[in-house]
Chain A
Amino acid sequence: MKRWFMLLLALVVLVAPILAQDAPPIKIGVAVAQTSNVALLGQEQVIGAQIAGDYFNERGGINGRPIELVFQDTAGDEAGAINAFQTLISEGVVGILGPTLSQQAFSADPIAEQAGVPIIAPSNTARGVPQIGWFISRISAPVAVVAPNAVQAALELDPNIKDVAVFFAQNDAFASSETQTFQSTVTDAGLNLATVQTFQTTDTDFSSQVTNALALNPQLAIISGLAADGGNLVRQLREFGYTGLIIGGNGLNTANIFPVCQALCDGIIIAQAYSYEADSEINQTFRTIYKEAQGKEPPQFSAQAFAGIQVFVEALTELDNTVGLASFDETSDPLGQLRHHLNAQILYGSYDTPLGAVSFLPTGEIVQEQFYVAQIKMNEDGQTGSFIFIR
């Protein structure tokens, strides 16, 4: 008898929350790398998405119906991304924000495409990601669009640049694709690509590369690498007497290089897809919430994740306003229909996000109007510094 009572109690506990809700929240999946060596990026995305979830729910969700973010960790590998996507899809999310890496996207996005679930990639910058399928779009501008802005900014700072030395980390996936963009930008701008020097992300001594490059007397150096090696390379360039401008790739786009090149970091130019200084209302709101919670300026990854959730919310709201989300319940496949129409709405709409005004091409590629360029300004102590937006 007692056992039956316990069973009944358990049943009530399980069922009660389901019965209590009249309008169940709309589930949006977030599948990013919360663990593994990519977690530093993934965690910034989690924070951005969480801020967006709370912010839009406070403002009434989807016309009064709340949204619920469902997080699933993809870790850093392809199989993890597929597992996270599968779990979210069967949990009934209307769309997924993720995954963190482009390589993971190539693996997991076809699953979502087949299941007919809209995907917004918050940080996939490789060529070919939106082309995986109709349901795949991205809120992160591809590297080929962002990087050239740094070269333009350098030319504005010093119109006399003629010879350019390019350095890249041969063993890093992102650096070796980014350098291709830099190199073609340099030649397209009519500059002389004087030399291309390679190194490894594990290197600490760059004297041979620096000597080779400086013999050609370049006025601009472009570095694609990661924080530690890139910072060391900057330091050694300066120590060998290089006085021209330096452009850093996205791998150097972090305050973690300050301790490496210290005062010599000063003046590195880095292109940005996001500026916390952008004075739109939504960005300043986002910046304030982020700063209150984290005590620092929001990074690009958090802003992109926020923008991704915002696109989902605004597209859902628009869909509710035009056809009404309840109307899908009458169809034979409510969730499938909703996902399909949601994706069409995502591609159709335009959005005022912290990244600026964005919209999508029919392929799902982002159309972002504004890009930024920042220059590192080191403080007098030589240990701390900041990114000053110059463009």
Chain B
Amino acid sequence: MIEFLTNFLSTYGFLIVSMTFSAMLALSLYLPLMTGQLSLASPGFYALGGYIAAWMSTELYPPLATGTTFPIPSLFVEMLIAAVACAILALLVGVPALRLRGIYLALATIAFVEVLRVLSLNLDVTGKAIGIFNIPQPFVTKIEYLYISLPMLIVCIIFMYRLERSRVGRAFRALREDELAATAMGINPTYYKVLAFMMGAILAGMVGAVSAHFLNTWNARQGTFDLSILVLAYVIIGGSRTFWGSIVGGMLLTALPEVLRAVAGIQGLPPFLTGFLTEGRLIIYGFLIALGTLFFPQGLITPEFLRRFARPPKASTPTKSKPLQTPST
């Protein structure tokens, strides 16, 4: 049993931590979406945070003696600096960009991500095309990154839970439902939109900083437009009207390809099935996403879905079929 567990953790440790990162990245995109702003910029901040951590740990800090791990307080310093840098950049980008709406804002944020990518391809400090590698490791195994990522995720959940019920959260929601009406009630749209945008940027930057260590290397292929679309899919598939949707969507869609890989590896399956599962793993993945959007157009987790857990079910509420997912804390 213990052997099985160690084996499981050494194989899937990386995946489990990746899932928490994806959940937080989805949250970073969900935050501006709370105010009704479709911003795809968070991968850009993720990339920036990663570069800051990668550069600091390889160039700024003294090289580690062999056999020692990267000090965790230094990692926190990197995360802090990444957060500050992303907040400043988000402010600079957010104020002009958030004058745009809908599809135009989405385009502008895609352009922002692209600008950062081209910059990192051309600057010496970002290692140009090859990127920065040999990033020192704060932990010996990948699963230990959970010591950082899990508390981060829990803090995020508590923060989001409080935020959705606070004055700021209600202002966000008012802006999403009807910006004109919200403005008439005295809500400053620019202030709240930029605030949400900055919160998303800070979170993405901090995740990027840890990810740079986690991936061992950082380059211009991280945090590109592809990731923008992927993270958007996390939010849309998970459900874009409650933060639980982003978390579940991020975790589920990150795990799914690897779960399919594991299924294909089960001993004793007929060869044609193993072959199909190995070769067609991503076909099944795409198919499941398509099915998900067809049968859960509002996303897997909706506020109505959550309400069933909030109060004990009354006799009058008809109990529907058993829910597919239970959100985990």
A77-B221, A102-B130, A127-B130 known; A14+B121 contact, CB < 8 A: no
Residues of A within 8 A of B215 (CB): 78-79, 82, 107
Asked if A103 and B7 sit within 8 Å, CB to CB, the answer is: no
The verdict on A293 contacting chain B, using a C-beta distance below 8 Å, is no
A35–B261 Cα distance when bound, in Å, is 13
A335–B201 Cα distance when bound, in Å, is 45
Which of A18, A73, A109, A111 is within 8 Å of B281, CB to CB? A73
| Interface residue tally on B, bucketed by range | 35 or more
A170-B122, A171-B121 known; A90+B129 contact, CB < 8 A: no
The verdict on A17 contacting chain B, using a C-beta distance below 8 Å, is yes
Asked if A87 and B268 sit within 8 Å, CB to CB, the answer is: no
A127–B130 Cα distance when bound, in Å, is 9
Q: From A13, A18, A176, name the one whose CB has the most chain B CB atoms within 10 angstroms.
A: A176
A79–B129 Cα distance when bound, in Å, is 18
Which of A71, A108, A132 is within 8 Å of B134, CB to CB? A132
Asked if A14 and B130 sit within 8 Å, CB to CB, the answer is: no
A78-B221, A132-B134, A172-B129 known; A87+B11 contact, CB < 8 A: yes
Residues of A within 8 A of B261 (CB): 72-73, 83, 87
The verdict on A363 contacting chain B, using a C-beta distance below 8 Å, is no
Chain B 196-226: CB-based contact to A (< 8 A → 1; otherwise 0): 0000000000000000000111011110000
The verdict on B15 contacting chain A, using a C-beta distance below 8 Å, is yes
Cβ < 8 Å to A, chain B residues 269-306: 278-279, 281-282
Asked if A79 and B18 sit within 8 Å, CB to CB, the answer is: yes
Residues of A within 8 A of B7 (CB): 90
B137 and chain A: residue at smallest CB distance: A110
The verdict on A329 contacting chain B, using a C-beta distance below 8 Å, is no
The verdict on B76 contacting chain A, using a C-beta distance below 8 Å, is no
Asked if A103 and B122 sit within 8 Å, CB to CB, the answer is: no
A186–B176 Cα distance when bound, in Å, is 59
Q: List 23 A–B pairs whose Cβ atoms lie within 8 Å, in order of A's numbering.
A: A13-B268, A14-B268, A73-B281, A78-B221, A83-B15, A86-B11, A86-B15, A86-B142, A90-B10, A102-B130, A103-B131, A106-B130, A111-B14, A114-B140, A128-B134, A132-B133, A170-B122, A173-B130, A173-B219, A173-B220, A174-B129, A176-B129, A177-B130
Which residues in A have some Cβ–Cβ distance to B below 8 Å? 13-14, 17-18, 34-35, 71-73, 75, 77-79, 82-83, 86-87, 89-91, 102-103, 106-111, 114, 126-128, 132, 170-174, 176-177
